[in-house]
Amino acid sequence: MTWIVDNLDLIGELALVHLRLAVPPIVLAFVLSVPIGWFAWRYAWSRGVLLSVIGLIYAIPSLPLFVALPAILGTSRRSELNVIVALALYGIALMVRSAADGFGGVDRDVRQAATGVGFSGWRRFWQVDLPLAGPVLLAGLRVVAVSSVSLVTVGAVIGVQSLGSLFTDGFQRGIQAEIWAGLIATMLLAFAIDGLLVVAGRLVMPWTRASARDSGGRRAGRAREREAAAV
Amino acid sequence: MSLFADAFAWLLDPANWEGPGGIGVLLLQHLLITFGAVAIACGIGIPLGMLVGHTGRGREVAVALSGGLRALPSLGVLTLVALWVGIGVAGPAVALIVLAVPSVLAGTYSAIESVDRRTVDAARGMGMTERQIILGVETPIGLPTLIGGVRSAVLQVVATATLAAYVGAGGLGGILFLGLKTGDYTLMLAASILVIALALVLDGAFALLQRIVVPAGVRATRSGTLRDRTTRRSASMGQPAIEGNN
């Protein structure tokens, strides 16, 4: 384990690069998936097609996608953009379903009440649909975040630096501690981002905490969290 | 797009399919590694998942295990085990099994758990033993979800098996890494197209299987010929139903 102590600088540096690769796709996936998911929910005819076609992206293995993207995008082979685009695609593949489910789960009566008191469609989306779909969106986003952080490491194989470089380097030089360092650092990073999302969710959606206080709600809340962890 | 033309030309050249290092052999190897690892993972994950889903015991552990897996980088597991066990097929095989078990486990327990408890109670009331309930009631009804778990395990393993070539396990990843080492992008792209096609075909096959295995009685309920529907939301893969943790 002395390797880890001696190379803390390197690990920290790679962790920052790792973040630079992981965060943009997570944000992109969220921003793009909410309208697509809303569309899939709003126009039922598009739901089946959209969800299955987009879901198919997730079946594509990551390394081949990293390799194939330069030919499609015209980017250089070691460009960080390949990894970012690929991860954004995976994020969308996971997130659109959550978004469609989230909007689908909004109580119809609540929506009608909002229309009844004179909310326009635009205002209803921001003040009713989006907040009420929030917990499901958050659950989806957490899954996207954790898997994105983990998938960034595969980029190391095609020469895009990240914590995954500790795996390839450690394997080539036969240093087990280096691989352990990469494993632990990647998982810590994933859990840290996941934790931040949970905290952000509580700040943005204070009512989810309030409803968790009564005993029935607490059980539901815990089930929801567990669900998020299990997906 | 000439990059793709080159890659397809390479793929369609029969000379590249023959021989011990040809695409044919590597494809077969890839499939063998994938299904071998998933079969062993099923041998471990399905019985465990049935137990967890039926009794509800160990549920927290199973959920944490299947959730934590997402944070676990497969390349890290692969290189670590390969360093331990040494280069060859054994190391990657162990890593692939480790990566596949949680998916199978999650799919199985949520399948069993998502079965309506009233149905289970009815079976118990008719005098079925617990074993009969698991195998004769819960498993057939939850089969689509269970297969969903196997499906995601297969997808993960088929993808990671490509990476396994990095530590010398053979399979289609071998072509990709050969291209990577020699800087031959045509080879890399051709191998990538092959692996992507393979993954999509397997995913499609499992999607079809999931539709086929729905028991006739359950299908009847869905089309509305029977009055009572299950009260539980059918759980999607690895996603335990929200309501009723009884």
Q: Which domains does chain B have, with CATH numbers?
A: 2-12+23-234 (1.10.3720.10)
The pLDDT tens digits of the residues spanning A74-83 come to: 888 888 888 9
**pLDDT tens figures, A25-76:** 999 999 999 999 888 888 888 888 888 888 888 888 888 888 888 888 888 8
Quote the percentage of chain A above a pLDDT of 90.
23
Regarding predicted confidence, which is higher, A193 or A211?
A: A193
pLDDT at A221 over 70: no
Do the Cβ atoms of B72 and A187 come within 8 Å?
Answer: yes
Q: Which pLDDT score, from 0 to 100, does residue A29 have?
A: 92
- Residue B79 banded pLDDT, cuts 50, 70, 90: confident
- pLDDT tens for each residue of B160-199: 888 888 887 778 888 888 888 888 888 888 888 899 999 9
The residue type found at A184 is I
pLDDT band, residue A211 (cuts 50/70/90): low
What secondary structure letter does DSSP report for A162?
A: S
**pLDDT tier for residue B120 given thresholds of 50, 70 and 90:** confident
B180: chain A residues, CB-CB within 8 Å: 157-158
Residue B246 has pLDDT above 50, yes or no: no
* A204: three-class secondary structure by DSSP: helix
pLDDT of A197 reads 92
Under the banding of pLDDT at 50, 70 and 90, the label for residue A133 is: confident
Contact B186, B5 (CB under 8 A): no
Which of A149-153, B82-86, B184-188 holds the top average pLDDT? A149-153
DSSP A10-54: HHHHHHHHHHHHHHHHHHHHHHHHHHHHHHHHHSHHHHHHHHHHH
d(CA A181, CA A186): 8
CB atoms within 10 A of CB B220: 12
Structure confidence by residue, pLDDT tens digits, B41-57:
999 989 998 888 888 88
Burial class (CB in 10 A: 0-12, 13-18, 19+), A93: buried
Which tens digits make up the pLDDT trace of A100-121? Answer: 888 888 888 888 888 888 888 8
Q: What is the pLDDT of residues B150-166, one digit of tens each?
A: 998 999 899 888 888 88
Confidence band for B225, pLDDT divided at 50, 70 and 90:
very low
Is residue B224 over pLDDT 90?
no
- Residue A229's pLDDT is 47
pLDDT (0 to 100) of residue B5: 79
**Tokens (6 digits) for B97:** 């099994």
Q: How far is it, in rounded angstroms, from Cα B201 to Cα B154?
A: 11
Q: Does A77 reach chain B within 8 Å, measured CB to CB?
A: yes
Picking from A11, A63, A69 by the largest number of B CB atoms within 10 A of its own CB, the best residue to mutate is A63
pLDDT tier, B236 (very low <50, low <70, confident <90, very high otherwise): very low
Q: Which residues contact B48 (CB under 8 A, 6 or more apart)?
A: B62, B105, B108
pLDDT class of A218 with cuts at 50, 70, 90: very low
Chain A, window 192-211: residues with a beta carbon less than 8 angstroms from a chain B beta carbon = 194
Render chain B in DSSP notation, one character per residue: -HHHHHHHHHHH-GGGTSSTTSHHHHHHHHHHHHHHHHHHHHHHHHHHHHHHHHH-TTHHHHHHHHHHGGGS-HHHHHHHHHHHH-TTTHHHHHHHHHHHHHHHHHHHHHHHHTS-HHHHHHHHHTT--HHHHIIIIIHHHHHHHHHHHHHHHHHHHHHHHHHHGGGT--STHHHHHHHHHHT-HHHHHHHHHHHHHHHHHHHHHHHHHHHHTS-HHHHHHHTTSSSPPPSSPPP-TT---SS---
pLDDT-derived band at B222 (thresholds 50, 70, 90) equals low
- CA A4 → CA A171, A179, A181, A186, distances in Å? 15, 10, 6, 14
Higher-pLDDT residue of A106 and A220 is A106
C-alpha B125/C-alpha A69 separation (Å) is 58
Q: Is the pLDDT of residue B135 over 50?
A: yes
**Mean pLDDT, all residues of chain B:** 80
CB contact under 8 A, B73 and A167: yes
pLDDT above 70 covers a percentage of chain B that reads 88
Say whether residue A105 is in contact with chain B using an 8 A CB cutoff.
Answer: no
Please state, as a whole number, how many other Cβ atoms lie within 10 Å of the Cβ of residue B225: 9
Q: Which two tokens stand for residue B115?
A: 């079965």
User: Would the pLDDT of B112 be above 90?
Assistant: no
The set of residues, in sequence order, having a beta carbon less than 8 Å from that of B68 and lying 6+ positions away, is: A187, A229, B102
Query: Percentage of residues in chain A with pLDDT exceeding 70?
Result: 90
Answer yes or no: do A183 and B80 touch at CB < 8 A.
Answer: yes
Is the dihedral angle over the CA atoms B115, B116, B118, B122 positive or is it negative? negative
pLDDT at B239: 44
Q: Which of A111, A122, A102, A135 has the alpha carbon at shortest distance from A204?
A: A135
Task: Return the pLDDT at B227.
Answer: 46
Would the pLDDT of B29 be above 50? yes
Query: Which A residues in the span 162-181 are in contact with B, Cβ-Cβ below 8 Å?
Result: 163-164, 167-168, 170-171, 174, 176, 179-180
What confidence score (pLDDT) does residue A32 get? 93
Sign of CA dihedral A72, A73, A79, A85: negative
Comparing CB atoms, the residue among A68, A153, A179 nearest residue B83 is A179
What value does the mean pLDDT take over residues B214-240? 55
Average pLDDT over every residue of A126-144: 87
Residues of A in contact with B166 (CB under 8 A): 157, 168, 171
Query: In the structure, what pLDDT confidence band is assigned to residue B220 with cuts at 50, 70 and 90?
Result: low
What is the amino acid identity at position A27? V
